[in-house]
Amino acid sequence: METIFAPWRGEYINGIGNHAKNPDNPQECVFCSAIKATDDFERYIIYRGINAFVILNLYPYNNGHMLIIPYNHVSDLSQLNTETHHEMMDLIVKAQKVLQDVYHPHGMNIGANIGTAAGAGIDQHLHFHILPRWTADVNFMTTIGQTRVIPEKLDETWKKIRASWQKID
């Protein structure tokens, strides 16, 4: 396997990946910290709802990879009220429409990893992933090079998705 020098991953591994702690305040979850941000662009927040919000994944699998996150700091769906369940599903549906509008993918992955055993990198604050997929998007770099290529900056992704989010009902 080839080695790629990526020192920026250290911050993720030692901070965000360490049980979702905010590097500036280790007592605070990174998602809870994002909620408090006043600049949506700076934190890549796409939309703020009543019970949940939408944000870009800082370490996306593909361009457009979004997270749907309740404001409540809970780790399990059963800890949310019905209004939050409904709003999160509505946000997932809208995110799917936006991704279709912006990227025209062949499919979507939508899901939640609940608990570290299920693959949750941030296991104490429930969140859903929604990301576009294309036929054969696992290419040579991924299968042979064991490296994923993300061809678009998060700044550009945010601008495209935010504009589409505001125009789509």
Tens of pLDDT along the chain (169 residues) come to: 555 555 555 554 444 444 444 556 666 789 999 999 999 999 999 999 999 999 999 888 888 999 999 999 999 999 999 999 999 999 999 999 999 999 999 999 999 988 888 877 888 899 999 999 988 766 544 544 556 667 788 889 999 999 999 999 8
Token couple for 45: 């927040």
Q: Does the active-site annotation cover 127?
A: yes
For residue 164, what are the contacts with CB-CB under 8 A and spacing of at least 6?
98, 101, 102
pLDDT in the model for residue 19:
44
Residue-range domain boundaries for the chain: 9-167
pLDDT in the model for residue 86:
97
Q: pTM value? A: 0.79
Active-site choice (65, 125, 127, 129)? 127
pLDDT in the model for residue 6:
55
Distance CA 50, CA 79 (A): 17
Q: Say if domain 9-167 classifies as CATH 3.30.1360.120.
A: no
Residue with tokens 């809970």: 74
pLDDT in the model for residue 16:
43
